[in-house]
Amino acid sequence: MDAVAFLHHLKTLPIYRQQLVHIEHIPSQRVVCSELDTLNIKPALKARLKSLGISSLYSHQIKALNLSLAGENVIIATPSASGKTLCYHLATLEALLTNKNSCALYLFPTKALAQDQLSSLQEIACPEFLSNGAIATFDGDTPQAQRMSIKKQARIVLTNPDMLHLAILPNHQSWSRLFRNLSYVVIDEAHVYRGVFGSHAANVLRRLRRVCTLYNSSPRFICCSATIANPKEHAQNLVGLPFQVISEDGSPHGKKYFAFWNPPIIDETKSTRRSPNSEAAFLLSQLIASNIRSLIFTRTRKLTELVYIYTQQQLPSSLSSKISPYRAGYLPETRRQIERQFFNGELLGLVATTALELGIDIGDLEATVLTGYPGSIASAWQQAGRSGRTTGSSLSFLIGQDNPLDQYLMRHPDFFFSKNFDNALINPENPYILEPHLLCAAWEKPLDSDDKDFFGSNIEIEVGRLVREGKMRQVKNKWYLSPTVAYPAQDVNIRATSKNNYTVVDISQGCMLETVEESAAFSQIHPGAIYLHQGESYLIVELDLSTRTALATPTQVDYYTQAKEITDLSVTRITREKEHKGIKVYLGNVDVTTTVIGFKKKRQFTEEVLGEEPLALPPQTFFTQSLWFDLPQKAINRIADAGLDFYGGLHACEHASIGILPLFALCDRNDIGGVSTSFHPDTGKAQIFIYDAYPGGIGIAEKGFEMITELWRATLSLIEECPCSDGCPSCIQSPKCGNNNQPLDKKAALILLEELTA
């Protein structure tokens, strides 16, 4: 494709209003590789690769393979389409060819990705080295009739952390052959294991290592990740072992043009912009009309369907059949059919959720469109990297949404292209996460003092608490589950912090739709909420707190709902503090009390507020980590002299800082909360708090504490460069604010940040 010509074409269209704010030209890269003969692997494996047309390997593949064969744990953190899969396929096959009993375990974050990698592994290994039955996926869709044969025969098992936690580890006796002979554990898409999910996965992997010691095996680990700022640290935190990192990419790629597309302002007084979803539909229609194979990413299932419909309306009938939506919630056979049609060229364009972000092979693409910043630089490159997976040229668009993070990047593209601040954060020792895994571990094998090596030095404190609660009992020097605790793994959702989930029931069909974590229930399934399930809208008509049940009925509406909440915070302990030019910054433990007080109805696409309704729900309190900082006296004096609103400045600074913090940590804005006050009773002074919005904390506030000066500078740039006069959703307004974004004072916030960064 001629990316330059297409970009010029866009500029000539009547709808164009200077949306192209930056175009980054990423030059092509030549291959760095070596011949297969330089590798110390079995001749039969070399011959098989040559028969598949692979006569050499990229430099990073060779380095990863050599380190693995030397007994090291490795993490390969290179871009999309750089051949990371071959690194672990070759290492495991070499081990299996060397020892006829060796086995391997592959972990993928999704079932679809496991199925996709099954095909690529079978292409190399079957039938030359392994029978089809020796390689198998084991997940919730695996028929019961096949499970026993997999346990008895499979030498490479492809699964996910959920299945490892729920079915394999608790029943390790029936998997004894696998554990006794386990040579490799592969963790693909390791950057996905962050936050709550990553913290749970880290404990599952510690349980895996613990079970392996029971069977006298010590497998090596191979992790693959998108490019993140801390790959070595993340792998070591995830697995609990030392790692070697490979991050220099030796694969070739064609030149790419990466365009930042900012929707035009349609209301100068409010600085509101045209919907990014409308812009996405426009770009896809132009790409399809130009016969460019394209993929659009949207943030939700509902928006996937809407962007697809909007694009269809802009295309002639001869082309409208050339596009399709693709998202989770479709039946597996439907997704496979769409993948085949796209791979074979029957379809020219797909509108998808992040279900297609993680490496599923859909052939070579020429263009990708990201409808909004996906929350991390790593994910953005994963999505953009779906186009240009060969040496041909490609084009990617990032469409800016009307929020602080997106608008900061639209004005600072150099931040995106020149640096990688994304830090994948987990906290395996979070007591809300660790304690249930200790119960699971005790089910698998009684706990003893040696388990500090797996679960950390806090294990005795947590076990002591479980003993006092009657969930465990000590016999001599070991801890056993109490007889009242049965199969604890079934009570642990590894993608959530709480075991007290709420159930959503469709009263029209009398069936359960899904469960919602307790901490999110009041904001997502309150009475009057519009709840999306598999792309369908449901109205929550009742929330029964005693039975933890939300009653829902199908509905067709053109709006969505957004909860409003107020928050109080109390400091329980200061764990760290530091000083920056006389300004003290703190990190510590806090108790957060949140009350959902109402909700807004907002029209899809236009974001127009259609109305607000109050709610009467009880407060929820949880323990977490927070950072907070003092305010410069000079700033306080300047604000008073100028007659500005001091609290409005604090409030605005809090909102903007929360909006920017995800630039420095792999997290979503909803993973963070904040409180600002002109007088806090625990500190006796004005304060801004930024905390992890998960019980126990997952490391976000700690990362903010460590990078506080960078956070202040980025927040200052965001606010002072926003063209609005009094504040808007692109800088200081928050969609979740329980005070209706009142009061906010943009000028006062600028003074505070100027003095903080002086």
- Return the SS3 of 399: strand
pLDDT at residue 421, as a whole number: 64
Identify the top-confidence range among 251-260, 528-537, 748-757: 748-757
How do beta strands 583-603 and 620-629 pair? antiparallel
Name the residue with higher pLDDT: 414 or 358.
414
Mean pLDDT, range 462-466, rounded to an integer: 94
For 361, half-sphere exposure in the C-beta direction (CA atoms, 13 angstrom radius) is 12
Tokens 């084009």 — which residue?
395
Query: Is 517 a member of any domain?
Result: no
* DSSP letter (8 states) at residue 165: I
CB atoms closer than 10 angstroms to residue 508:
10
Mean pLDDT of 171-183: 98
Q: What is the pLDDT of residues 69-95, one digit of tens each?
A: 999 999 999 988 789 999 999 999 999
Q: How far apart are CA 204 and CA 654, in angstroms?
A: 36
Q: What is the DSSP letter of 605?
A: T
pLDDT in tens, 317-342: 899 999 998 866 666 677 778 888 88
| For range 471-482, the mean pLDDT | 94
d(CA 501, CA 514): 10
Q: Is 269 exposed, middle or buried (0-12, 13-18, 19+ CB in 10 A)?
A: exposed
75/120 same-domain check: yes
CA distances from 522 to 619, 621, 628 (A): 10, 13, 26
| Structure confidence at residue 605 (pLDDT) | 65
Which tens digit of pLDDT belongs to each residue from 417-462?
A: 986 667 899 999 999 899 999 999 999 999 999 999 999 988 989 9
Beta-carbon contacts of residue 592 (< 8 Å; ≥ 6 apart): 567, 568, 569, 621, 622, 623, 624, 626, 673, 675, 691
Give the model's pLDDT for residue 535. Answer: 57
Residues 349 and 375 placed together within one structural domain of the fold: yes
Assess if residue 523 is contained within a domain: no
Pick from 398, 421, 386, 370: nearest CA to 79? 386
Q: Which two tokens stand for residue 363?
A: 């052939």
Residues 237, 321, single domain; the answer is no
Last residue of a domain, one of 197, 224, 246: 246
SS3 319: helix
Are residue 283 and residue 303 in the same domain, yes or no? Answer: yes
Q: What's the CA gap between 404 and 12, in Å, rounded? A: 29
| Contact (CB, 8 A) for 215 and 690 | no
Residues 390 and 351 in one domain: yes
| Stretch 368-375: mean pLDDT | 92
Check residue 361 and give its pLDDT: 58
Residues 6+ apart with CB under 8 A from 693: 519, 624, 670, 671, 672, 673
Among candidate residues 231, 246, 261, the one where a domain is terminated: 246
Confidence of residue 227 (pLDDT cuts 50, 70, 90): confident
Q: Are residues 274 and 192 in the same domain?
A: no
Structure tokens at 159: 């699964």
Instruction: Examine the pLDDT at 355 and tell me if it is beyond 80.
Output: no
- Of the candidates 743, 721, 729, 651, the one whose C-alpha atom is nearest the C-alpha of residue 690 is 651
Picking from 211, 226, 246, the residue at the C-terminal end of a domain is: 246
562 located within any domain: no
Residues 287 and 406 in one domain: yes
- Pairing between strand 685-692 and 620-629? antiparallel
Residue 516 lies in a domain: no
Q: What is the CATH number of the domain that holds 226?
A: 3.40.50.300
Residue 551, in any domain of the structure: no
Tens-place pLDDT, residues 639-688: 999 999 999 999 999 999 999 998 888 787 888 999 999 999 999 999 99
User: CA-based diameter of the chain, in Å?
Assistant: 81
Rounded distance between C-alpha atoms, residue 227 and residue 135, angstroms: 29
486 burial (CB, 10 Å; 0-12 / 13-18 / 19+) is exposed
pLDDT of residue 330: 66
Query: Residue 520: what pLDDT?
Result: 82
In a domain, 441, yes or no: yes
Query: What type of residue sits at position 630?
Result: D
For residue 359, the model assigns a pLDDT of 54
Note whether 239 and 291 are same-domain residues. no
Where is pLDDT greater, at 365 or 186? 186
Q: What are phi and psi of 202, to 5 degrees?
A: -60, -40
C-beta separation of 508 from 553 below 8 A: yes
Of the pLDDT bands very low, low, confident and very high (cuts 50, 70, 90), residue 411 is very high
CA distance linking residue 486 with residue 481, whole number of Å: 8
**Is the residue at 666 inside a domain?**
yes
- Residue 12: inside a domain, yes or no? yes
Looking at the structure, do residues 48 and 182 belong to the same domain, yes or no?
A: yes
Mean pLDDT of 363-372: 88
Average pLDDT over all residues of the chain: 91
Nearest to 292 by CA among 2, 25, 12: 2
Same domain, 354 and 439: no
Residues 208 and 141 occupy one common structural domain: yes
363 — pLDDT class (breaks 50, 70, 90): low
Cα–Cα nearest to 98, from 40, 177, 29: 40
Question: Mean pLDDT, to the nearest integer, of 347-363?
Answer: 72
Average pLDDT over residues 582-590: 97
39-52: average pLDDT:
92
How far apart CA 396 and CA 398 sit, in angstroms, is 7
131-149 average pLDDT score: 91
| Residue range(s) defining the domain that contains residue 465 | 431-480
Number of domains in the chain: 4
Q: What is the mean pLDDT of residues 694-702?
A: 91
CA-based nearest residue to 676, from 568, 582, 580, 523: 568
pLDDT for 472 equals: 96
CB 183 within 8 A of CB 104: yes
623-632 per-position pLDDT tens digit: 999 999 999 9
DSSP 517-576: -HHHHHHHSSTT-EEEETTEEEEEEEEETTTTEEEEEE---SEEEEEEEEEEEEEEEEEE
Q: What percent of the chain has pLDDT over 90?
A: 71
What pLDDT shows up at residue 513? 86
pLDDT of the residue at 650: 97
Q: Reduced to 3 states, what is the DSSP secondary structure of residue 262?
A: coil
Q: What is the pLDDT of residue 470?
A: 95
Looking at residue 356, its pLDDT comes to: 63
Nearest to 82 by CA among 225, 292, 181: 225
Spatial separation of the C-alpha atoms in residues 304 and 5, rounded to whole Å: 28
Question: What type of residue is 532?
Answer: L
Average of per-residue pLDDT across 682-706: 94
Q: Are residues 726 and 661 located together in one domain of the fold?
A: yes
- Residue 184 is predicted with a pLDDT of 98
CA dist., res. 661 & res. 667, Å (int): 9
Give 65's pLDDT tier (boundaries 50, 70, 90). very high
Confirm if 235 and 199 have CB atoms less than 8 A apart. no
Please tell me the total number of residues recorded for the chain in this structure. 758
For residue 46, give both structure tokens: 């070399």
Q: Characterise 528 by phi-psi region: left (phi > 0), alpha (psi -120 to 50), beta (else).
A: left
What angle is formed at CA 657 by the lines to CA 654 and CA 660, rounded to 5 degrees? 150
Per residue in 194-217, pLDDT tens? Answer: 988 999 999 999 999 999 999 999
pLDDT at 680: 97
Angstrom distance (rounded) from CA 730 to CA 725: 12
In this predicted structure, the answer to whether residue 107 has a pLDDT above a threshold of 80 is yes
Q: What is the pLDDT, as a whole number, of residue 199?
A: 94
pLDDT tens, residue by residue, 482-506: 999 999 999 898 987 766 789 999 9
The one-letter code for the residue type at 415 is: F
> What sign for the dihedral angle of Cα 129, 244, 193, 82?
negative
Is the pLDDT at 357 greater than 80? The verdict is: no
Percentage of residues in the chain having pLDDT higher than 70: 96
